[in-house]
Amino acid sequence: MTGRVVDALEARGGVAAARDVLESGVTRAALARAVRDGWAFRVRHGVYALGRTSPAVLAAAAHGGAVACVTALALAGIWVLADPGLHVWLGDKGRAHQHPGCRCVDHHGEGRATFGVVPVSDALVQAARCLSREGFFAAYESAWRLGLIGAADRVAVRSALPARLRRVLDIARGDAESGLESLLRLRLADRGIRLDCQVPIPGVGRVDFVLAGRIVLEVDGRENHDGPSKRHKDLVRDAAAAAAGYETLRFDYALVVYDWPLVEAAILRRLGR
Ligand SMILES: [Zn+2]
Ligand SMILES: [Zn+2]
């Protein structure tokens, strides 16, 4: 019987209401035995889970719903600008339950609250409320690049967005290599500056961006570990670009995120604006 309890929870993503587990034909006694023997545990009154369920899913279940919004995006490996905290989808009637350390952000919407993690396309629509315009744009491009939203999902997400965000999707692409690239492209587009992305230059390789056919823009991601060999490679790359007639501007995560006015001033000056 314990096997059936585990199967029933497994089939529901590792966490479920006791009501749903019992409906699948498991007896109350079997559920109690599975808990006593350590196969499952009680998350809160009427909700049970397997021990190996992810901490975010368990915390959301304790709160009363499913991992949602920016938390679901981050869990799927999508680029999210800041630490997302725990955002929980509670359906249309679900209510938030207090639990230790609760600082959850509630999301309500059509449907009955479930547990687990909401689909990426739903999470994107929810995140439109919690992220800045550019934070949303970067997350959307990241989801697209990771292959987590297909053409039908993109249409659905778009139609669920407010008009101001729908417009921003007109310049979204599925090949942005990092969230920083997305931010940079959007911010420059806002200034009427168009970028060519992932441009191959003979003798250099692929560069992140080319502006006005002569300025190379490289953005080092936050995951890059700086070191002497990386620095040397960058210098070789910049020299090769210069030999091919390009000037290079190189920025990193901290500059783009925390010192944008300086980055923008450097770019505008080079463009002769
Ligand atoms: Zn949210
Ligand atoms: Zn909570």
pLDDT in the model for residue 82: 80
pLDDT in the model for residue 79: 94
Mean per-residue pLDDT of the chain: 91
Q: What is the ipTM of this complex?
A: 0.98
Residue 174 Ramachandran class (φ > 0 left, ψ -120 to 50 alpha, else beta): alpha
Q: What is the pLDDT of residues 225-267, one digit of tens each?
A: 567 788 888 899 999 999 999 999 999 888 888 999 999 999 9
pLDDT at 51 over 90: no
Q: How do strand 47-50 and strand 66-67 relate by DSSP bridges?
A: unpaired
Q: What is the pLDDT of residues 168-224, one digit of tens each?
A: 999 999 988 888 889 888 999 999 888 888 899 999 999 989 998 899 998 876 555
Select the more confidently predicted residue: 101 or 223.
101
CA–CA gap between residue 62 and residue 119 (Å, rounded): 19
Q: Which residues surround ligand 2, an ion (CB under 5 A)?
A: 63, 102, 104
Q: How far, in Å, from the CA of 84 to the mean position of ligand 1?
A: 8
Q: How far, in Å, from the CA of 22 to the mean position of ligand 2?
A: 26
Domains for the chain: give ranges and CATH numbers.
1-52 (1.10.10), 54-172 (no CATH), 177-273 (3.40.960.10)
Q: How far, in Å, from the CA of 86 to the mean position of ligand 2?
A: 8
User: Which H or E run includes 218?
Assistant: strand 215-220
273 three-class SS: coil
Q: What is the pLDDT of residues 62-73, one digit of tens each?
A: 999 999 999 999
Number of Cβ atoms within 10 Å of the Cβ of 120: 20
pLDDT in the model for residue 93: 85
Q: What is the pLDDT of residues 102-130, one digit of tens each?
A: 999 999 988 888 899 999 999 999 999 99
